[in-house]
Amino acid sequence: MTTKTDTIRLTTAQAIIRWLSNQYIEIDGEEMRLCGGGFGIFGHGNVSCLGEALHDARDSLPLYRGQNEQSMGFAAAGYAKTWMRQRFMFCTASAGPGTSNLLTASALAHANRLPMLMLCGDTFLTRLPDPVLQQMENFDDPTFGVNDAFKPVVRYWDRINHPAQVIQSLPAAIATMLDPGDCGPAFLGLPQDVQGWTYDYPVEFFEKRTHRIRRITPDENEILDARNALRNAKRPMIIAGGGVQYSRAVSELTTFAETHNIPVVETIAGRANMLADHLLNIGPIGVTGSDSANAIAEKADVIVAVGTRLQDFTTGSWTAFAKDAQFISINAARHDAAKHRSLPVVGDAKLSLNALADGLDYTTPSEWVTLAQTERKKWDAYVAENVAIGNRPNSYAQAIGAVNALCDPRDRVVAAAGGLPAEVTANWRTLGHGTVDVEFGFSCMGYEIAGAWGARIAQMQKEPDQDTIVFVGDGSYMMLNSDIYSSVLSQKKLIILVLDNGGFAVINKLQNNTGNESFNNLLADCPTIPEPFGVDFEAHARAQGAISETVSTPTELGEAFTRAKASGRTHVIVMKVDPYEGWTTQGHTWWEVGTPHTSENATIREAHVDWESSRSKQRKGL
C-alpha cells in the first residue's frame, strides 16, 4: 500500500477515517480519542467507500447503527452535551433523503453550539452518470444540491472535490468544532466517486495529535469596566448559562458568588450549575422559571450573565429586567457577549470570573441577599406543594417529583420540547452538577429518546453506574421513538417516562391562553379524527425490546421507577396525565407570541389586548 517512504496511498474515505482515528484530546490529564465513534445508516452514497474505511476502523471508531438519520444527529448532540463539548461523534448518511434527514439535527446542534461532524454522500463530481438516483437537479446551477441546504445550519461546510482537499478541510472542521466561540456542527459533502479516488498522502498527516480546548483570556479593559460596574451595584445578580458547564467553571462560579455574596439564577441550559440547596441558588429564570428568580430579576441593577446567549425564554422576551439594568456579559462568543447594550467580556468563563474577582473588593448588601433567599424559600414551598401526590389529577410535576425523590444524584435527566421542559426546569431539584439536559435551544420534539441514547453512550464512558432518565410526552414519543430499539440493541439502558396527555397539550394550552378554541392539538379536538383512540405505548415499547409497564398514579410510577433502576435493560413507564389541570402556574414571565390584532371572535380580541399589556416592560436593544 505504501508507495514511498514519506507518503501512503489511500482513498479519500480511508484518509478521513484514518485521520479521525489519530485525533486525541486531553481531558483532566487523561488522553482519549477526540471522536467517540459515529452513527451511521448506509446507502449507495456512502456504503461502498466510506463503509469500507469504517469497517477497518471499527475498533477505534465504533459505528452505531441508527434507525433514522435525524435521531442519529440528536444522539450525537446528546453525546456532545454529556462530554461538555470536549468530545464529539460523527454521523454518516447516504446521498439524498438520508442526508437531508440530518438537517433538523444540524440546526439543533447549531442552536445549542454543539460539535457534530457530518460525513454525507453527494452526487458524482464527474457528472458522467447524471442525473443519479436521489439527485436534486438544479437547472441553473449543477453544483447546487441538497447538501448546500446545510450551509445556514452549520459552522463549517465543505464539499470534498479532490482527495488532497481533506488535508486542509479536516483540521479546519475540527478547529471549528473545538472553538469555544464558534463551536457548532461541521459538514463534509463526499461525492460518491471522490470517496474512492486515491492520493499519496504525507505520512505525517496521520500522526497522532492531541488537542486541547482553547481558553480565551479576557481583555483587561473589558474586565476593568465590568469590575467598576459591579463595584457600584446595589442589587446584583448572576445569570448562569450552559457555557459555565462547557468551560468547566462550576466551581469558579460558586466561589465567585460566595465570595461576593451574589444571588445566582439559572437558564434552562444552565440548570445544574448549582445544587438545589445552595443558599445563593435563587432558582431558574424566565418564561419557564421561578417566581423567586423572576422577582429579583426585575429589581436587579447589575446583571452578570455568564455563558448564556440570552434567548427569549431566559429574558421573558426582554421584559424580565428593569429597563435601566446594566448587563455584564461574559461569553467566549463575541456575538453573545455584545447583546443588549451589555458591557462585554469576551473570554472563557473560568478565566473571566477569576479575573473579575481579582481586586474586586465588593460584598452585596445583605438586605438584597435576604430578599432573594426569602423569595427562594417561598418558591421551594410552592414546588413542594406542586409535586405533592394526591392533591389533584396526575400531572407532569408529580411524576417529576416522584422520580426526583428516588434517583441517584449523578443520574442524568433528559427532556426537550412540549410542556416538559418548563415542568422539569421549574420542579426538578438539582442533586448533582451537570446532570440536567433540557434541550430548549432549538426546542426540538423527538430529541428526548435519541438524545438520551447518545448521552447514555457517553455516560457509559464516564459514569457507567448511573442512569439516564428520559421525560417524554406522547407527542414527542410518536414523532421519534425508534431509538428505544437502538438502546436495546446496543445495550445502552435508558429509563423512559412516557407521560401521555392525549396530544400536544402544551400548545393547546397556549392556543387557549391566546383566546383560541382548542383545535388540532389534542386528539379529541381534531376534526379529521372521527374516533380518537390512544396508543398502547406499553405494547409499542415492548415490541422494540424494552421492558415496559403502565401505571395509574404517581405513587405507582415511583414503584415502577425503583424496578427500572434495578433493571439491566431499557425500561419504559407509561402514565396518563391531565391535559388541563396540574400545570405549573407560577414562575412564568411574559413571552412574546404573535396574536391576531383583529378577529371576529371577542375572546381572541380580549386575549390580544391582555397579552400586549405587558409589552411596555420590554427593553429595547439589539
Residue range 576-596, pLDDT digits in tens: 999 998 899 999 999 999 999
- The values of phi and psi at residue 222, to 5°, are -65, -40
What pLDDT is stored for residue 582 in this prediction?
87
Flag whether pLDDT at 62 surpasses 70. Answer: yes
**How many domains does one find in the chain?**
3
The predicted structure's pLDDT at residue 390: 87
Evaluate whether residue 194 is within a structural domain: yes
> Mean of the per-residue pLDDT values for the chain?
96
| 311-323: pLDDT as tens digits | 999 999 999 999 9
583 residue type, one letter = W
Are residues 180 and 276 part of one domain? no
Question: What is the domain extent for residue 434?
Answer: 388-576
> Do residues 117 and 38 share a domain?
yes
pTM for the whole structure: 0.96
Q: What is the pLDDT of residues 472-523, one digit of tens each?
A: 999 999 999 999 999 999 999 999 999 999 999 999 999 999 999 999 999 9
pLDDT given for residue 136 in this prediction: 86
Q: Is 504 exposed, middle or buried (0-12, 13-18, 19+ CB in 10 A)?
A: buried
| Last residue of one domain, picked from the residues 191, 211, 231 | 211
Of 553, 516, 471, 442, whose CA–CA distance to 108 is shortest?
442
Helix (H) or strand (E) holding 193: helix 192-196
Residue 621: inside a domain:
no
What are phi and psi for residue 509, nearest 5 degrees?
Answer: -65, -45
The pLDDT assigned to 112 comes to: 97
For residue 383, being part of any structural domain is answered with: no
Same domain, 82 and 120: yes
Task: Give the domain-ending residue among 155, 180, 211.
Answer: 211
**Mean pLDDT, to the nearest integer, of 554-567?**
98
Half-sphere exposure of residue 86: CA atoms within 13 angstroms, side-chain side = 22
Indicate whether 2 pLDDT > 70. Answer: no
Instruction: Name which of 3-7, 29-33, 325-329, 431-435 the model is least confident about.
Output: 3-7
Residues 184, 233: one domain?
no
Tell me which of 59-73, 130-144, 190-204, 212-226 is least confident: 130-144
- 59 and 108 both lie in a single domain: yes
pLDDT band at 622 (very low <50, low <70, confident <90, very high): low
* pLDDT for position 5: 66
Please report, to the nearest 10 degrees, the dihedral formed by the alpha carbons of residues 351, 354, 359, 360 taken in order. Answer: 120
Residue-level pLDDT at 391 = 83
Q: Is the pLDDT of residue 414 over 70?
A: yes
Relative orientation angle of helices 396-406 and 554-566, to the nearest 10 degrees: 40
Q: 81-123: per-residue pLDDT in tens?
A: 999 999 999 999 999 999 999 999 999 999 999 999 999 999 9
Mean pLDDT (whole number) for 381-392: 94
Percent of the chain, pLDDT > 70? 99
Domain C-terminal end among 320, 349, 378:
378
